[in-house]
Structure 1
């Protein structure tokens, strides 16, 4: 997995350069800070106890019409890695091509997600496989943050030290999701956990052709204006959230000044706590006009 930091679009150039470090056991991490010093981020991705890696991530930063645009995405594959890899390669690219990306970002997200799902299923129509993927993405346009989610990856933000979820996991036993599935003619069954048709443990996803009537790729979107109370943004696959509560994630990440170190700490903590899944997270730190405290080295 590599972050796509060298692409260009017809709206602007991707300007960041990311330092990525490899490690043993399918582990990579990296980080970057904006030229104006207002934003920094780090990421960490670990295969963990799984034999294969099905998590992917994408980070893009750009200047478009004089505005700084940053995009962060976590894509957690299931039943294979093809859907997650396709999202890494195409989702943000498609989003930036949407004619209303800058003027109505929420509309662009709501239309780009399902269209990208259609495109993926079309590209796989002759393949003898049926995998799928989550997508939890955060798009920052100037100081306006849009979080769009499909599946059970999750995005949270730290505001004045409080962990605030900006997405709600799409689980089949969520009352509104269960009703939507049953209204479409599907069933939610207990098979070790709640599953759509007794098969899939999430109620929304990209791919999953055989369940597509019930497992949609329509995102739920939240938007926030970033002010000085917002400190950190954390996106992660469920390999983290299965064992690290939101409050712990904010506390652990907030104790590290460097976002890459914060992301690595979260990944390592999830593994130490017994996560049996791939673990991938992105930590974004907002540097406001106030002075950034310097912590002494241990």
Structure 2
């Protein structure tokens, strides 16, 4: 039994070469079959599978193998799913479609031994059902949830405009200063504003000797996605101490559009953008550690 593709593409010829081991591939991670099912014999039926990224930059295919008896109590299920514009639909189908087929087969049977049910009807209902499931599952892409505790920062670029999704927990931030002082703590300017003259952030995990002035409670922002959202930058203050939100977004935008440089083989535009921002921070005199993640939202 073979489930149809999610998206059809032009056929691609493949040539097996001696250096196949240099290709990125997986024979289990994209399958719903338990370990050991790959290449197993199913009542005289031998099967094996592989899923390769090939020359693409991302992996959007998925494979599903349900062992004998998992579908309708007696059938073996095989499916390949060709994702389009992302892997989400392919992954959802590889996890659920064979279960949907199993349920519908059992529903159509008049008796446990019955094999005269309408396969076309079963498959039609399953594919329509999965189409609805995929549509509903996209709700998880509608929000970006940011939890921040400290002075790292999340900045989203939407339509070319930076949108801060977190606010740095600096001791001199008016509401943070008020909170610390209400707990009988002090904000002291000692080579920069610090809680009790020690800690340069008003919230963090650890530093228990500064409680209750310093809290581990995060501030949570829930952002509703828009069509114009481009990418998200998550970075520690080693970047933000010397690079503004606007400059950071402009550098990333140009890297993703390949206006500054082209990614090296094996790198994505997001990799290149993160490296470029780190180099910029160092060039501008950052004296702190620098960690950066770029997430494309298209």
TM-score (norm 2): 0.51
143 and 237 in structure 1: CA distance in 2 versus 1, 3 angstrom threshold:
same
Structure 1 or 2: larger strand share?
1
Give the conservation status (yes or no) of the 8 Å contact 2:169–2:202.
Answer: yes
Q: How far is the alpha carbon of 1:201 from its aligned partner?
A: 0.7
Runs of 4 or more off by more than 3 Å in structure 1? 31-40
CA distance in structure 2 between the aligned counterparts of 1:208 and 1:32, rounded to whole angstroms:
41
The root-mean-square deviation of aligned C-alpha atoms, in Å, is 2.6
Q: How far is the alpha carbon of 1:141 from its aligned partner?
A: 3.5
Please identify the structure whose Cα radius of gyration is greater: 2
Secondary structure in 1 matching 2:172: coil
CA distance in structure 2 between the aligned counterparts of 1:216 and 1:39, rounded to whole angstroms:
39
Superposed CA deviations along residues 224-259 of structure 1, whole A, max 9, x for unmatched, are 122211001000000000111000000000111211
How do 1:46-85 and structure 2 match up within 5 A?
none
CA distance in structure 1 between the aligned counterparts of 2:211 and 2:197, rounded to whole angstroms:
14
CA distance in structure 1 between the aligned counterparts of 2:282 and 2:59, rounded to whole angstroms:
27
Q: Structure 2: 5+ residue runs without aligned partners? A: 1-28, 30-56, 62-82, 96-138, 257-268
195 and 33 in structure 1: CA distance in 2 versus 1, 3 angstrom threshold:
farther
Could you say which residue in structure 2 is the equivalent of 1:163?
A: 162
Could you say which residue in structure 2 is the equivalent of 1:270?
A: 281
CA distance in structure 2 between the aligned counterparts of 1:222 and 1:161, rounded to whole angstroms:
20
CA distance in structure 1 between the aligned counterparts of 2:158 and 2:58, rounded to whole angstroms:
22
Could you say which residue in structure 2 is the equivalent of 1:46?
A: none
Give the conservation status (yes or no) of the 8 Å contact 1:205–1:216.
Answer: yes
Could you say which residue in structure 2 is the equivalent of 1:226?
A: 225
Could you say which residue in structure 1 is the equivalent of 2:142?
A: 143
Q: Structure 1: 5+ residue runs without aligned partners? A: 1-7, 9-30, 41-61, 67-139, 288-298
Q: How far is the alpha carbon of 1:222 from its aligned partner?
A: 1.0
Could you say which residue in structure 1 is the equivalent of 2:210?
A: 211
Could you say which residue in structure 2 is the equivalent of 1:236?
A: 235
CA distance in structure 1 between the aligned counterparts of 2:287 and 2:251, rounded to whole angstroms:
20
Secondary structure in 1 matching 2:291: strand
CA distance in structure 1 between the aligned counterparts of 2:157 and 2:86, rounded to whole angstroms:
15
CA distance in structure 2 between the aligned counterparts of 1:33 and 1:186, rounded to whole angstroms:
52
Secondary structure in 2 matching 1:275: coil
CA distance in structure 2 between the aligned counterparts of 1:165 and 1:37, rounded to whole angstroms:
31
Give the conservation status (yes or no) of the 8 Å contact 1:155–1:236.
Answer: yes
How do 1:1-298 and structure 2 match up within 5 A?
36=83, 141-257=140-256, 258-287=269-298
Give the conservation status (yes or no) of the 8 Å contact 1:39–1:284.
Answer: no
Residue-pair matches, total: 163
Give the conservation status (yes or no) of the 8 Å contact 2:165–2:223.
Answer: no
CA distance in structure 2 between the aligned counterparts of 1:33 and 1:276, rounded to whole angstroms:
38
CA distance in structure 1 between the aligned counterparts of 2:86 and 2:283, rounded to whole angstroms:
29
219 and 34 in structure 1: CA distance in 2 versus 1, 3 angstrom threshold:
farther
Could you say which residue in structure 2 is the equivalent of 1:103?
A: none
200 and 33 in structure 1: CA distance in 2 versus 1, 3 angstrom threshold:
farther
34 and 267 in structure 1: CA distance in 2 versus 1, 3 angstrom threshold:
farther
